Amino acid sequence: MLKNLRTASLAVLAAAAVLVAGCGGDDGPPSAVAKVGDKEITKTEFTHWLNAAAKQQAQTTGVKPSEVVVPDPPTYAKCTAAKAKQKVPKGVPKPKPEDLKAQCKQEYEGLRDQTMQFLVSSEWLLQETAKRKITASDEEVKKSFEQQKKQSFPKQKDYTKFLETSGQTEADLLYRVKLSVLTNKLQQAIIKDQGKVTDQQIEDYYNENKQRFAQPETRDLLVILNPKKAKADAALKAINSGQPWSKVAKKFSTDDASKSQGGKLPNVTKGQQEKAFDTAIFSAEKGKVEGPIKTQFGYYVFRVTKVTPAKQQSLEQVKDTIRNLLTSQNQQKALNDFVKSFQEDYKEMTNCADGYVIEQCKNAPKPKSATQPLSGSPQTGGGAPQQVPPGAGGSPGTVPPTQGAPPSGSPQQVPPQAAPPQGAPPQGAPPQGGGAPPQQVPPPSGP
């Protein structure tokens, strides 16, 4: 189950990138890496999580935890020296010192941004939930942690090894689980009472999307397929002579799926089959043997055994399905609206120190072009629904990776408690089943 833990960690990294990207800037609190409102994020916190991120990144390259060298700006002397000792494959030129330094710088900036994204996003979550009086008790955090630990580490020695190699303590993991609990509670607070749907709204949706609730005509067939016309003609002759269809299909048909069912091909709807065969099926009389019909797959001999007419589902039949769909859409809109204001409000409160600035910071440089949306900005038009801000592993819903959040180097965390549910269907999409819940609050990024 160690793989689950690693996978969850990468999902956390990708998900939080919906909020942040980039770096730069030259002001912010002098005594810390960032300040959100009155709360400082200390350099000690940053260093701890940066070291953990470096250990995780090293695991992907096979470097032992004891040999990990964290990139050390501004000279990167230790990092460059460590890289210079690494073996170079035969035939590959030995890298120059300036190239090694550039590699160290690139690695550091990636780890730095991931770490800052995590720390800033987590602080945003903590302040928002505190403002709403949303809490996560020690008892429920511990219970969730133990469940996830048991799932990921059946043996205690595996868990102990994980702590040694991940650069994290059990307190770090408990902190992540706390963020997860708060994330899910914030989600529920946002969508509470947002799913009310009236009967008139249901009726309007039904009338506007009536065709989506229509069931097309279906036909059950007996078929025989053979790539050679002579064989198909012989099959037709045998059927017309009164031989059982299953016997003839077994002898002549090359379509294994229908052949194994005695030649039966049930529930065929218009447009499913090759064009020539499709036309013949839906123009044939029930009970009459037809063919051979030439297609790209060979020659068909067939008979329609049953015709189920098309029918329209009534409003009453689909009322619950539509209600669930519209409820999901209403809840998703509430989440989308929250994301927009949340990002704007907390970014305005966040200042980062020189050398630690990311897109979440108020003092981040302005984007060069206004024609493209910022990474993490609310989507518009027909795009995927915007997700809501940070929590930690365990929050359902995934977000594709975006700029500024490479998947390597993020410390692992205890995996989510449940598989992520699907998001709400886009507006106007045909309802599926009982409707899906809205996408949930994504976790903080970084380590």
pLDDT band at 371 (very low <50, low <70, confident <90, very high): very low
pLDDT classification of 67: cutoffs 50, 70, 90: confident
- Where along the chain do its domains lie? 1-195+318-447, 217-309
Kindly state the average pLDDT of the residues 57-66.
Answer: 77
What per-residue confidence (pLDDT) applies to 238?
Answer: 95
Nearest partner of 347 among 38, 37, 46, judged by Cα = 37
Helix, strand, coil shares of the chain as percentages rounded to 5?
45, 10, 45
pLDDT at 259 over 60: yes
Q: C-alpha angle 289/295/299, rounded to 5°? A: 45
Eight-state DSSP code of residue 286: B
At residue 298, what are phi and psi to the nearest 5 degrees? Answer: 135, -155
pLDDT at 441: 52
Higher-scoring residue by pLDDT: 127, 379: 127
**Percent above pLDDT 70 for the chain:** 75
Give the CATH architecture of domain 217-309: Roll (3.10)
| Cα–Cα distance measured from residue 54 to residue 169, given in angstroms and rounded to the nearest whole number | 15
Confidence of residue 31 (pLDDT cuts 50, 70, 90): confident
Lowest mean pLDDT among 61-65, 152-156, 238-242, 389-393: 389-393
Over range 173-195, report the average pLDDT. Answer: 92
Cis status, amide bond into 292, omega within 30 of 0: yes
Instruction: Report the pLDDT value the prediction gives residue 30, as an integer from 0 to 100.
Output: 56
155 contacts 402 by C-beta, under 8 angstroms: no
CA distance 107 to 115: 12
pLDDT on residue 414: 35
Mean pLDDT (whole number) for 58-69: 79
pLDDT exceeds 60 at position 96: yes
Rounded distance between C-alpha atoms, residue 383 and residue 399, angstroms: 13
Q: Are 242 and 236 in contact (CB under 8 A)?
A: no
Compute CA distances 219 → 33, 236, 264, 266, 278, whole Å. 69, 20, 11, 7, 11
Look at 35-44, 153-162, 236-245, 421-430 and tell me which has the smallest mean pLDDT.
Answer: 421-430
- What local confidence, expressed as pLDDT, does residue 444 receive? 59
Span 343-366, average pLDDT: 94
Half-sphere exposure at residue 167, Cβ-oriented, CA atoms within 13 angstroms: 26
Which residue, chain included where needed, has tokens 């900036």? Answer: 109
User: What is the rounded average pLDDT of the residues 139-152?
Assistant: 95
What pLDDT is attached to residue 378?
32
**DSSP alpha helices (H): ranges in 132-244?**
138-152, 156-166, 170-191, 199-208, 229-240
Report the alpha-carbon angle 185-190-193, nearest 5: 110
Q: What angle do CA 338, 340, 343 make, to 5 degrees?
A: 100
Q: Which of 43-52, 55-64, 144-153, 433-442 is predicted with the least confidence, judged by mean pLDDT?
A: 433-442
Measured distance CA(314)–CA(420) in Å, rounded: 32
pLDDT of res. 60: 77
**pLDDT at position 385:** 34
Task: Give the per-residue pLDDT at 61.
Answer: 75
pLDDT-derived band at 232 (thresholds 50, 70, 90) equals very high
The tokens for 439 are 């996408």
Run of H or E including 303: strand 298-308
Predicted pLDDT at 87: 85
Q: What confidence tier does 206 reach under pLDDT thresholds 50, 70, 90?
A: very high
Q: In this predicted structure, what is the pLDDT of residue 266?
A: 94
At residue 429, what is the residue type?
Answer: A
* Beta-bridge mates of residue 296: none
Please tell me which residue, 211 or 34, carries the higher pLDDT value: 34
Average pLDDT over residues 141-166: 92
For 339, counting Cβ atoms within 10 Å of its Cβ (0-12 exposed, 13-18 middle, 19+ buried), the class is: buried
Which residues 6+ apart lie within 8 Å of 383 measured at CB? none
